[in-house]
Chain A
C-alpha cells in the first residue's frame, strides 16, 4: 500500500459525510468502501481510521478487507483503465506479447499508473470473448484481434484524449 498522503480539508469532510450514512453498521463496510472509491477513484489510506471507528472495527481489519479484494485501490488511478486479458485463449494467441507491447507503449508495469494519471494497467484472467483473442479492454471498450500495429493505434488514438 502506498504512503499515506494527508487529505485536504474538503476531502476529509466529504469522506466524513459518506461515512456518516453507514455509522455503526458493520455489514456495510464493503458498500461504504465502494462508495468512497466511486467518489475518489480509490480509497485514500487516511480514510481507513475514520472508517474503522465509525464501523466499530480496527483500522487493521479495514485494511485487511481493502487489500483482500483486488478491485479496491488505495492509490489514485489513471483516467483510463487498461486491462490486458491473460486468459487461456488470449495466451495461446499471443496475449503475453500483447501485454509486453502495452507496457512498452505506456511505459509502466502491471498494476502501475502513468505519472500523468492518464492510464492504469491491469491484467484480467478472461473477459469472455475468447473468439476475438487476443483482447484488451480500455475502460468499457473491448479491442479484439490485437496485434502490434493495433496496440500502437489504440494508444495513439486514446493517448490524445
Chain B
C-alpha cells in the first residue's frame, strides 16, 4: 500500500489509503474535538464538531468521515473552523439542560469539556427547555434522554459491536430519541445491560446507577476482568481507595470498548461488607480473628507436623483458576518443593479443562491458538455445547458480528434456543449426550461426499483409514435416530461446514462437562482435520474457558500430572531443570486430582488441605459428601475473600485480596497473557494470595527466594517453554456410547449452565448489589409443553428431584426448551443444583429428574 501524504496544519504527514483525516490527525498528535467518533465504530458524522477546512477548496469537511487524499491541505484550527465549532456547541447547549451542578457525569462529560475548551459559556441563543425524563427502574442504567445530544454512539455500540439491537432512533428531528422497540423500559427489551452504551455516552444521558453521587474519581487503573475466560480489558476508576466504577478498556482487541453486565456492574464485590479482613482461627468451633503471625505459625506447624507423621502425600493443595499465573506457579512450587507432593490441582478440573489441556499436548491437539479476531474472519462458525452470549459474552459478540456484518454462516448445535439461534443459518437440536454421534455423522457425510481436504486429511494426518472404518455405522439415518436431528439436517450441516473456506469450531462446557467430554473434543478435532481447519486463519478450534485464568492455572502446572508448561512430572529432563532451580527434586508420580482429593479425604487417607480461592462445597458434585470429606480432614486451610461454604469448614481462614488489590497476569482463552494492576490497597488486613504463599513457605522453614513478583515471572519465563511442539496430527476414532440420562420415575432431563448476570457458584456475583438485585434467586426453566402437562405457571414453586437429592426453585415457562428438558442456573447457593449429582464423575451438565409441585406455603 502506498502512503498518502497530506499537509496538516502546515506539516506534511503520511497515512495509508482509506484512513480518515481524523485518524491521521490523532495519530499525528493533532487534537480535533469530536463527540460522536469512536475508534471501533463506523463513522457517521453526526456531531459535526470535527469540521476542518480544506484550504485548497475552502470547503469545511468532517474529519471523521473524510478519507485523506494525496496533496490535501487541511487546517484543523483555522478561525473559520473554530467559529463553526463554537456555533455547533452553542446549538447543542441551547437544548441541553443546565443541570451540570447535579449531574453525576460531572467532569467526565465530553460536551462540557469541549464547550470549555472552545470558550463557550452562556448561550445567547433562545433556549429549548428539556424536561428531565429520568428512567431508573433497572438497577444498572439511569437514562435521562433530555441530556441526549443524538451522537448515536449508544445505538452504534449496541448494533455494531454488541449486536443486540435493543435500541435505535425513534421519530425524527427534535423528537428523535434512542428508543427500544415500542419504547418499553430497557428491562423489557433485548438489552442485556452490558453497560457498553453507558461507558461510551459522552454526556449524562446514560449513566451507571450508583448508590449515591460518587463524585469525581481521582484516577483509573487498567486491569483485566475477573469473571469469564474472555479476559476483557477493563479500567478501574478509583476515588479514596474505593473502586467507584468499572468501564471497558478501549485498547484491547478482545472486547473493543465493550463489556458484559458482569464486568460493568459485577466488580463491587470488592467492597462487600462480607469481605474477610483478618485471619481467622477456629477455637472451640468458633472463628476468632488472630494476627497473621499467629495464623501462619499455626498453618506451618500443622502442615509440618502432618507431613512428618503421615508423609507429604497426606497433604494436598487445591488452587484456583481465578488466581493469577504467578500465584498458580507459587502454589505448585509450594506443593512440590515445600510440601513435597504432586497433590496439586485447580478448580477447572471440574469441567475437564485441566485434562483437556494436558490432552492437547499429548494427542497433538493444538490449544486455541487463534485470536477472537481470527474467529470473526471465519466463513462458517460452528457453535457446539456452548452459549457464548452468556458464558463468554465477548466471544458471543464476535460471532454475532461475523454473522451480521461479515456474512459468516452460523451452524448452531444446541438443544436450547439460545440467543444465537436467531443468528443461525442451521440450528440442530440433538438430545443431550449425543454430540459424538452427531459429530461422527458429520464426518461420515464429509468423507462420503468427498468434501474432505485431501492434502490435509490423508497427507498431514495419520490414521485416516482407521477413521473411515470407524465411521461406517454413523449413517445419517443412524445419527437421526440417536440424536433426534433430521437426516437432511445432518447432511446439510456437513456440507455447510466442509464447504467453507475456513470453518471455526467453538465449544464450551456443554462439551467438556459431559462424561464423554474428552471423546467429544477428539471427534470435533477429527472433523476439523478432515476439512483442513486447523490453524487455517479463522478455521480452527476455539475452546472457551469458564474461569478467567483456567488456562493459566493449567499452563502454570497447577495440575497433578504436569509441571509448569505441561512438562510431565516424570519427564527426567524437565525435572532436572526444576530441581536445579528449586534445589529440591520435584516428587515423581502423578498426584491426586481435585475429585480424588475429596475422595481420599472422605476415606481418611488425606489429612490436610490448602484450598486457595475455590469453593468445592458449592461447585463440586454431591455437596453433602464434599462437606463431610472436608470436615473429616485433620487440618484445612482456606484462603478466600469471603467466608464461603468451604471456608466455614476450615481450621484457619486467610483473608485474600481481590483482583483489584494485587498485581499479576491472567491468561485468557486465546492464550493472551494480560497484566492486572493494583487499583486499591488490600481491604482490611487481607493480602494477595502470592504474598500469603511466600509467607507460608517461610513459616514452614523453606522460604521461596523471591523478593518481587517480577522475580517469579522471570523464573516462569526461564522454566516454562513458550510453545510446546505440537505432535503431528492424528485421527483418533471415537465411539458414541449411549448413556441413559433419564431413568424410572425421573422422566425429565435437567441441563445446567451459567446465566447472565451471575457467574460460577455466585460467590462474587451475588455480592455485587446490582447483580443480586436484578437476579436474586434461582429458577427452573420448563418448556411450554411440560408446563401445560404438569399444570405449572410462571413463579410456581417446585421441587426438582433426582435420585440423589433435591432442590427448590421457581418455575419459568419458556419456549426455548424442547419438551422433556429443564434448565437451571448454577450460581445460586440457596438452590444448590450440584446436590442433584452423585459424587465422582464430573458430568455436571445433565441429570435425570422429576418435578414436584409445592404448595405456596412450602
Contact = CB atoms under 8 A, between A and B. Distances in A.
B461 interface: no
Nearest to B184: A4
A1 B404 CA distance: 27
Contacts of B180: 60
A44 interface: no
B403 to A, nearest CB: 9
Given A1-B182, A53-B422, A63-B181, A58 B159 contact: yes
A64 interface: yes
Given A58-B165, A59-B165, A67 B170 contact: yes
Given A53-B422, A67-B171, A68-B172, A59 B181 contact: yes
A67 B165 contact: no
Contacts, number: 44
A17 to B, nearest CB: 21
Nearest to A63: B181
30 contacts: A1-B170, A1-B182, A1-B183, A3-B182, A4-B182, A45-B182, A53-B422, A56-B404, A57-B165, A58-B159, A58-B165, A58-B190, A59-B165, A60-B165, A60-B167, A60-B168, A60-B180, A61-B159, A61-B165, A61-B168, A63-B168, A63-B181, A63-B182, A64-B168, A64-B169, A64-B170, A67-B169, A67-B170, A67-B171, A68-B176
A3 to B, nearest CB: 8
B172 A67 contact: yes
A53 B165 CA distance: 12
Interface residues of A, number: 16
Contacts of A57: 165
A56 B163 CA distance: 12
A60 B166 contact: yes
Nearest to A57: B165
Given A4-B182, A58-B159, A68 B165 contact: no
A63 to B, nearest CB: 5
Contact of A68 (B164, B166, B171): B171
A48 interface: yes
B179 interface: yes
Contacts of B167: 60
Nearest to A68: B172
Nearest to B165: A58
Contacts of A59: 165, 181
B399 to A, nearest CB: 15
A109 to B, nearest CB: 16
A68 B181 CA distance: 14
Nearest to B172: A68
Interface string B38-49: 000000000000
Interface in A104-136: none
B161 to A, nearest CB: 13
Nearest to A52: B165
A63 B170 contact: yes
Is the contact region of chain A dominated by helix, strand, or loop, or is it mixed?
A: helix
A145 B336 CA distance: 100
Interface of B: 159, 164-172, 176, 179-183, 190, 404, 422
A63 B179 CA distance: 9
Which has the most chain A C-beta neighbours within 10 Å: B168, B179, B180, B183? B168
Contacts of B422: 53
Interface of A: 1, 3-4, 45, 48, 53, 56-61, 63-64, 67-68
Given A60-B166, A60-B181, 8 more contacts: A1-B182, A4-B182, A48-B181, A53-B422, A58-B165, A63-B168, A63-B181, A64-B170
A54 B168 CA distance: 18
A1 B183 CA distance: 8
Contact of A58 (B168, B171, B172): B168
Contacts of A3: 182
B744 to A, nearest CB: 42
Nearest to B170: A67
Contacts of B168: 58, 60-61, 63-64
Nearest to A59: B181
B633 to A, nearest CB: 54
Residue from B172, B182, B183 whose CB has the most chain A CB atoms within 10 Å: B182
Contacts of B190: 58
The 6 closest A-B pairs by CB, nearest first: A58-B165, A60-B168, A64-B168, A59-B181, A68-B172, A64-B169
Contacts of B181: 48, 59-60, 63
A7 to B, nearest CB: 15
Contacts of B183: 1
A148 to B, nearest CB: 32
A53 B404 CA distance: 12
A121 to B, nearest CB: 19
A67 B168 CA distance: 11
Contacts of B182: 1, 3-4, 45, 63
B171 A60 contact: no
A15 to B, nearest CB: 17
Contacts of A45: 182
Contacts of A67: 169-172
Nearest to B189: A60
Contacts of A61: 159, 165, 168
B402 to A, nearest CB: 13
Nearest to B159: A58
A116 to B, nearest CB: 26
A49 to B, nearest CB: 8
Contacts of A58: 159, 164-166, 168, 190
B388 to A, nearest CB: 19
B815 to A, nearest CB: 14
Nearest to B166: A60
B179 A60 contact: yes
Nearest to A49: B181
Nearest to A1: B182
A130 B731 CA distance: 83
Given A1-B182, A45-B182, A68 B404 contact: no
B425 to A, nearest CB: 11
A4 B169 CA distance: 18
A56 B407 CA distance: 11
A61 B155 CA distance: 10
Contacts of B164: 58
Contacts of A1: 170, 182-183
B807 to A, nearest CB: 35
A68 B175 CA distance: 10
Among A4, A48, A56, A67, max chain B CB count under 10 A is at: A67
A145 B262 CA distance: 66
A122 to B, nearest CB: 16
Contacts of A4: 182
A68 B159 contact: no
Contacts of A64: 168-170
Contacts of B404: 56
A54 B709 CA distance: 55
A32 B170 CA distance: 19
B438 to A, nearest CB: 26
Contacts of B169: 64, 67-68
A67 B179 CA distance: 11
A84 B422 CA distance: 45
A51 B167 CA distance: 16
B194 to A, nearest CB: 15
A48 B179 CA distance: 15
Nearest to A60: B168
B707 to A, nearest CB: 55
A62 to B, nearest CB: 8
Nearest to A4: B182
B701 to A, nearest CB: 64
A156 B618 CA distance: 77
Nearest to B169: A64
A79 to B, nearest CB: 26
A64 B190 CA distance: 16
A111 B169 CA distance: 20
A53 B164 CA distance: 13
Contacts of B172: 67-68
A140 B166 CA distance: 39
